[in-house]
Amino acid sequence: MKKHVAILGSTGSIGTQALEVIEANPDHFAVEVLTAQNNADLLIAQSIQFVPNAVVIANEQLYDQVTQALAHLPIKVYAGSKALQSVVQMDTVDIVLTALVGFAGLEPTIKAIEAGKPIALANKETLVVAGALITQLAQEKAVNIYPVDSEHSAIFQCLVGEFHNPIEKVILTASGGPFRGKSTEDLAEVTKKQALKHPNWSMGAKVTIDSATLMNKGLEVIEAKWLFNLRVAQVEVVVHPQSIIHSMVQFEDGSIKAQMGLPDMKLPIQFALGYPARIKSDFPRFNFLDYPQLTFESPDTKTFRNLALAYEALEKGGNAPCILNAANEIAVDYFLKDEIRFLEIPDVVADCMAKIPYIASPVLDDYLHTDQETRQVALSLV
């Protein structure tokens, strides 16, 4: 039977690639819901092509534009953040792909889990900010969370058939980004254009900058802890510049499983949406002879401080990862606006982690308040 998919953030990098997967597999998937924040033009084009049951434009000022453009089609059009939280609960939705960027993904994901909807999770910040809350809620509602990040998808694929076997550790691979091997002095004057030139992956601007600072890997470390119920010491990061091994799992007998393939986000998207089936695809195939050397090295956490800050936040727990995430979102936004330098991004994060009050056992309102307070402090710093 077809799975009817709600895509939160359909106009972003993950959302557009998910639609390519759905278009290529009409016997397996149908589009039920599409949502966007501001990109009304692309949302309209996607809606005309896929004719979903409902669309949401989060920016309410764009509601009339979307409504008028889709008036000739049997599509329900909604606007605003509350509508975003409502559509994921529709009876006709079989799975929710959360591809929103940043903290914005938290509340819609919670609403989808409360409604018993399986989650294909591309919004790592949801687990970074509120991992304890999300995992407990998913257990209570018996909801499966399927990771879409290539690294976590790799770990999940390595664990299929192994869930009864204890994990010794997981090894997250990192490309190292565009500045691998650079010193602090080298990074003093890097530009936005340089930071956005990732050597292997095609991603949205925010994730690409996070990859350049290694914050993306730090967020993935926190996400892995919650997805796979690990201790901090069980999550290791190695730099693997070729991005062919997407991550590994080491079991208690010492054996290591790795998931490999060319860097293409459509594969983990399709695996998450189609699980437990592996759906035939025409994705380019990896050839070992094209990659005669696969290399590995330790991450440089002194130059790329964000990875160390993420481990620090994870060790501390409570609302510390929420502070880390909110400060980073503001810092990256202002770097993309050319208003702070590249090396100032971890400065903002570290300052916020030092200044925002720590809450050991936060509830949802605490996370919302921490996020808001951290953004205000971060704005004062930038």
Q: Which amino acid belongs to residue 34?
A: L
Measured torsion, CA atoms of residues 337, 340, 344, 346, in degrees rounded to the nearest 10: -30
- Tens of pLDDT, residue by residue, the chain (382 residues): 899 999 999 999 999 999 999 999 999 999 999 999 999 999 999 999 999 999 999 999 999 999 999 999 999 999 999 999 999 999 999 999 999 988 889 999 999 999 999 999 999 999 999 999 999 999 999 999 999 999 999 999 999 999 899 999 999 999 999 999 999 999 999 999 999 998 887 778 998 999 999 999 999 999 999 999 999 999 999 999 999 999 999 999 999 999 999 999 999 999 999 999 999 999 999 999 999 999 999 999 999 999 999 999 999 999 999 999 999 999 999 999 999 999 999 999 999 999 999 999 999 999 999 999 999 999 999 9
Residues 160 and 47 in one domain: no
Q: Residue 156: give the domain boundaries.
A: 152-263+287-302
Residues 167 and 126 in one domain: no
CB contact at 8 A, 149 and 201? no
The encoded tokens of residue 152 equal: 């976590």
Instruction: Catalogue the E-assigned strands of 80-219.
Output: 95-98, 119-121, 145-147, 167-174
Residues 128 and 180 in one domain: no
Residue 268 lies in a domain: no
Residues 157 and 222 in one domain: yes
Domain-ending residue, one of 95, 124, 147: 147
Does this model's pTM top 0.75? My answer is: yes
- Tell me the residue length of the chain: 382
Residues 232 and 334 in one domain: no
Residue 171 lies in a domain: yes
Domain-ending residue, one of 147, 170, 188: 147
Residues 294 and 345 in one domain: no
The encoded tokens of residue 223 equal: 């996400």
CATH number at residue 68: 3.40.50.720
Residues 350 and 373 in one domain: yes
Q: Which residues contact 196 (CB under 8 A, 6 or more apart)?
A: 205, 208, 209, 212
Residue 129 lies in a domain: yes
Residue 28 lies in a domain: yes
Strands 235-239 vs 3-8: parallel, antiparallel or unpaired: unpaired
Residues 298 and 321 in one domain: no
The encoded tokens of residue 358 equal: 């720590």
Residues 345 and 256 in one domain: no
Residues 19 and 131 in one domain: yes
Residues 234 and 100 in one domain: no
